Amino acid sequence: MAVGLLVDCFYYELGHSDFVHSFFSTISYHLEKEGWGTKYPLLMNELYNGKLSWIDVSDVKADLIEIEQKLLKYSPEYVVWDIDDLSKAPPWGDKINPQIKSLANYFATANGRTFFEVMGVAMDVAKEDKYDIKLKHI
């Protein structure tokens, strides 16, 4: 099942639901030492659970810049596939594109854009048009 960001009538596809969950799991595991949503509540609780108010977009965009910078320090083998079951691994194992050098560019769409790029575009549109962002399963 594909997951993406819906802003008004614009849909920005991220990828399969397991892969999107892995993105959020990786952030929480490595960057939120006190647990899910403790450092980045708007991203991890609001957006992940379905909806982010356009009013909060600037704060979340700043968080995403910080997160991307921090994930640059982690090599791909530190990906967390599912924070609720740390024994799970990606279905492709360690066979990844050699261009993936860190967790900052590990999470990318089918067309090669990172989640950070896609989310940034969606957030710019949401802020400009004053529409909330919805995380949608299609």
Q: Would you kindly state where each structural domain of the chain is located, as residue ranges?
A: 2-136
| Confidence check: pLDDT of 138 > 90 | no
Q: How many CA atoms lie within 13 A of 73 on its CB side?
A: 7
Could you tell me the pLDDT band of residue 4, with boundaries at 50, 70 and 90? very high
In angstroms, rounded to a whole number, what is the distance separating the alpha carbons of residues 39 and 100? Answer: 26
**Among the listed residues 77, 76, 94, 80, the one whose alpha carbon sits nearest the alpha carbon of residue 32:** 80
Query: Is the four-CA dihedral 135, 33, 38, 63 of positive or negative sign?
Result: negative
Amino acid at position 110, single letter: A
User: To the nearest 10°, the Cα dihedral for 50, 54, 59, 63?
Assistant: 40
Q: Residue 27 corresponds to which tokens in the numbers above?
A: 């952030």
Buried (b) or exposed (e) across 83-122, using 16+ Cβ within 10 A? beeeeeebeeeeeeeeeeeebbbbbbbeeebbbbbbbbeb
Note the pLDDT of residue 28.
Answer: 98
Residue 69's contacts (CB-CB under 8 Å, 6 or more residues apart) are 104
Tens-digit pLDDT profile for residues 36-54: 999 999 999 999 999 999 9
Tens-digit pLDDT profile for residues 103-115: 999 999 999 999 9
Note the pLDDT of residue 55.
Answer: 98
Could you tell me the pLDDT band of residue 1, with boundaries at 50, 70 and 90? confident
Whole-prediction pTM value?
0.96
